[in-house]
Structure 1
């Protein structure tokens, strides 16, 4: 096990005690290609009270070398085996000292808007969120509601959770890619924290990462039940309706494709 960071030397992450401390959490495995840029975008933020916590899953590339080289810019880093993305995130939380937590992928980048949003953190029972750049385009989806949650999640890289969330919750590691979706649904049901939206682009979300290129089979297997249990009857019925339309559209498109193929083959 390797570890480092300036907090190990007893240096506090807090630079100004009259404003909140934000813990930015990054989990990585063999991410040397992206890690330095990720660290730099956190370090270069105008907002002063940020600690960067990085959990590495026993990388075999230059990841640990980069962490060692940047120990003066990272509050705490640890390299050891883990059981996946959300297991690493759960472990990272215990090393955080912030009032709010933000999860940034190693291949994602913070933008200046992050500091702008950080200046609006007031209520420690509120989760604040903004927008991301996805596939080169800013995504402005507005305030979330239970019907939007049926079909979409608040992007993890746009969301700052208050510390109190993780005093009673962890990510469910049974969901390998969508545990953040599951947590959000459960928090929405509990109604113990509020969600506040700002039309500010705070990060670049790399759509080529695992959450953009794969899908969580266990989540989609349980999706209907999760929606019913956490959002209620009307959102559940809406989910069934939209799912029916999507399946019908796929069938129609498949038949159109077959017909075009038949026409083309016949013409040949």
Structure 2
């Protein structure tokens, strides 16, 4: 791999992309191809498979450009990510979902140029993420400047984690992901750092396309995600929940109530009417 790295890329920080997968053969190829097709060469790809039986392993065996992969049972995504940490070589680490992919082939090049000049006091950098429905149709981008979401982050996950860059030294200082979390381990880890430190937002950069339908993208799992967030806050000294968190919980209970009373299809329509009133694009009827 090193022999193909351009001189320009060698002067930019190396980026490690980590993908955790379990029976993800349907989408994994697109994910891997989006990494390997990046114009930025100073990168590595690490795939941690949880012991798949759907053709994922054969896909990995056939791809010699993957720098490291392993297939064995694990206890979840955070266990898989922690396994990868002992193998990464990059100065920056990106965790990419097996159903996600880089938005275009220049994402890492643009990202590396920004990371090369970011302050050494910054250990978290991110751009925007494009949401897709399960059919692959684009919905809308999410991701706001750090100054706009800094206070909100102390109550809910307000930065998109796919495509987010973690400085490797962050894990040396803060430790690994807490594997007792099922959904909120990425939020808890980032909260360790960002409750006092700053993050860096890269404007006008869509990093990743993220399909909806994962662990935290349904109203039923959203409640668990918020409960995980509250547990993380308590771990970091926030005794009482804040108004942003409470408001989010109330909205989820309203969604679940509508689901039960009028049925899923009607509930989705009603919730998107609410989004339209608030000036937001439709989501529920699109997913």
Q: Under TM normalisation by the shorter chain, which class is it? A: 0.7 to 0.9
SS at match of 2:19: strand
Matches within 5 A, 1:30-179: 30-71=23-64, 73-112=65-104, 113-122=107-116, 123-126=119-122, 127-135=124-132, 136=138, 137-143=140-146, 144-168=149-173, 169-179=175-185
Give the Cα separation in 1 of the matches to 2:31 and 2:142: 20
Give the Cα separation in 1 of the matches to 2:244 and 2:179: 24
SS at match of 1:134: strand
What is the TM-score when the length of structure 1 is the normalising length? 0.78
- 1:245 positional shift: 5.7
What is the total number of aligned residue pairs between the two structures? 245
Residue aligning to 1:185: 191
Instruction: Tell me if structure 1 keeps the 8 A contact 2:92–2:167.
Output: yes
Residue aligning to 1:3: none
Calculate the aligned-residue CA RMSD, in Å: 3.2
Instruction: Tell me if structure 1 keeps the 8 A contact 2:223–2:249.
Output: no
Give the Cα separation in 1 of the matches to 2:56 and 2:249: 45
What is the TM-score when the length of structure 2 is the normalising length? 0.73
Give the Cα separation in 1 of the matches to 2:97 and 2:208: 10
Structure 2 residue corresponding to 1:206, chosen from 207, 211, 214? 211
SS at match of 2:199: strand
SS at match of 2:162: helix
Residue aligning to 2:21: 28
Give the direction of change, closer, same or farther, for the CA distance of 1:149–1:115 in structure 2 (3 Å limit): farther
Give the direction of change, closer, same or farther, for the CA distance of 1:27–1:152 in structure 2 (3 Å limit): same
- 1:230 positional shift: 3.6
Give the direction of change, closer, same or farther, for the CA distance of 1:216–1:62 in structure 2 (3 Å limit): same
Residue aligning to 2:200: 196
Q: Which runs of 5+ in 2 are unaligned?
A: 133-137, 263-287
SS at match of 2:216: helix
Give the Cα separation in 2 of the matches to 1:102 and 1:163: 10
- 1:20 positional shift: 0.6
SS at match of 2:45: strand
Instruction: Tell me if structure 1 keeps the 8 A contact 2:16–2:93.
Output: yes
Q: Which runs of 5+ in 1 are unaligned?
A: 1-5, 258-268
SS at match of 1:151: coil
Give the Cα separation in 1 of the matches to 2:180 and 2:75: 10
